[in-house]
Amino acid sequence: MECLPAFWMDMRRNEMAKQFDVIVIGAGPGGYTAALKATEFGLKVAVIETKKIGGTCVNRGCIPTKALLYASGMFRMMQNCDEFGVSTDFISFDFQKMQSYKKKAVDRYRGSVEGLFEKNHVEVIYGKGTLRRGRTVEVELAEGGREFFEGKTVILAAGAVPMMNEIPGADLPGVWNSDRLLAAKSWNFDRLTIMGGGVIAVEFATLFNNLCSNVTIVEKKKHLMAPMDDVMSTALERVLRRKGIQVYCDSTVTELSQGENGLNCVITPNKGGEPIRTRAGQVLMAIGRKPNVQGLCGPDVSLEMKNGKIAVSPGFETSEPGVYAIGDVCADIQLAHVAAAQGTYVVEKIAGRPHTIRLQSVPSGMYVSLPIVPNCIYTDPEIATVGLTEEEAGLRGLKVRCGHFSMEENGRSIISGEQDGFIRLVFEAYSNTIVGAQMMCPRATDMIGEIATAIANGLTAEQMSFAMRAQPTYNEGIGAAIEDALRKA
């Protein structure tokens, strides 16, 4: 077949291709949500996956990191249990056991997605999918061989992969990425240096600090967690330093070399000055993730790209008609719930159904569109944000008023001894409509949902104050921050 002219090759390929309404490449949260949604609308769906169902999120991202953070957090908590009248003679951890607990959580989550695929008759094809002309997908099958599939719609949900820096020493054996580190068999991280200061970096720093590692974070930008606002990132840096994590911002790891007792790291301040030399047992590169587009398109397809990502229209259609892209492969915000929301949005669109999901909101009477993506960071205390900060609102010409509450005075925080933190709510000054929230406190990652719902529905401070909040809960902090804003009105 390979030596036939292209036209005849296409004819043969299409004759052989199995037909579907929707073909999804990639079974991460974007792909599996889109596939399951499509079956709800009675569409015939195939999912192509090279590795495991669940993608990065379930197998190498959200679920395994949070499982290890939970386990390591328990170890940390136990060390302070005496304060609560609980004593134990000896506290230790077994990293291998932690890893098998993590694996159980991952397997269980993946199993539930696989079960839903089976129940809803999603055809799963294991192999590497390549988009070819005419919405045809060529699959190099995992079991060997090659097959063609043709879809009325093709959704590309191939995700992203860790970026690696090209500095000298980057290929030394002690340099890890997050995929490899999550699969580590034994705990060998007494001195861990983390390159990068984003969410993956600060979560791994928290995890290994919980397990008594000596952790150093080196971030190129002025603050951790850019583009988070300075108030939050400064507070986070303070908390991490207090836990014993060394944080170097505005600095870059410029060289790694093998020393007698581990890796020598050269940390160069961006503004000049003497480089700092440290020693690390292991180095984690957490400098970002790039769209996984290698081999995704065949030679007969040329998708338009933008800054290394697949370019899409506001409705997620690529430059190839009928081919959509969702999630990390195209999105500005690389989060599982963003990928899933985009998957739902695209499938509702192609099925001609009304949208059940909003990707942003413009409350009535307002001229600014509000982002409604909750952003959660599982540090200790947790951080969660949604919508606009005071500064961002100012940049958009929006006059705002903030309600603030320090968790020092929250009953539940007093009980659990976790009084470090605050809740800040941002309201538009004239209408009192909620436009954003920043929280740093226990359960912030759960509580942010209330604010995302309020922003998506254009609620005002008065409307948000109608509901009672149970005593004693961390949630009362939200009520107190609303009251603070109302007092200032």
Q: State the residues that interact with ligand FAD by CB under 6 A.
A: 25-31, 48-51, 55-57, 60-62, 65, 128-129, 157-160, 178, 200, 292, 296, 327-329, 334-337, 339
Closest contact distance (angstroms) between CB of 60 and ligand FAD is 6
Closest contact distance (angstroms) between CB of 240 and ligand FAD is 18
Closest contact distance (angstroms) between CB of 128 and ligand FAD is 5
Q: Contact 291/328 with Cβ under 8 angstroms? A: yes
Helix (H, G, I), strand (E, B) or coil at 392: helix
Give whichever of 25 and 224 is closer to ligand FAD, judged by the CB atom: 25
Task: Count CB-CB contacts under 10 A for residue 241.
Answer: 12
Closest contact distance (angstroms) between CB of 30 and ligand FAD is 3
Beta bridge partners of 119: none
Give whichever of 101 and 463 is closer to ligand FAD, judged by the CB atom: 101
Q: Contact 373/336 with Cβ under 8 angstroms? A: no
Task: Count CB-CB contacts under 10 A for residue 62.
Answer: 21
Closest contact distance (angstroms) between CB of 158 and ligand FAD is 3
Closest contact distance (angstroms) between CB of 19 and ligand FAD is 19
Give whichever of 59 and 438 is closer to ligand FAD, judged by the CB atom: 59
In whole angstroms, give the CA distance from residue 478 to residue 489. Answer: 17
In whole angstroms, give the CA distance from residue 373 to residue 371. Answer: 6
Determine the length of the chain.
489
Give whichever of 27 and 400 is closer to ligand FAD, judged by the CB atom: 27
- CB proximity list for 332: less than 8 A, separation 6 or greater: none
Q: Contact 152/135 with Cβ under 8 angstroms? A: yes
Closest CA to 168 of 270, 283, 308, 82: 283
Task: Count CB-CB contacts under 10 A for residue 373.
Answer: 17
Closest contact distance (angstroms) between CB of 473 and ligand FAD is 23
In whole angstroms, give the CA distance from residue 98 to residue 90. Answer: 18
Closest contact distance (angstroms) between CB of 407 and ligand FAD is 22
Give whichever of 83 and 332 is closer to ligand FAD, judged by the CB atom: 332
Give whichever of 150 and 484 is closer to ligand FAD, judged by the CB atom: 150
In whole angstroms, give the CA distance from residue 213 to residue 193. Answer: 10
Give whichever of 239 and 377 is closer to ligand FAD, judged by the CB atom: 377
Supply φ then ψ for residue 312, to 5 degrees: -130, 160
Give whichever of 62 and 461 is closer to ligand FAD, judged by the CB atom: 62
In whole angstroms, give the CA distance from residue 458 to residue 432. Answer: 10
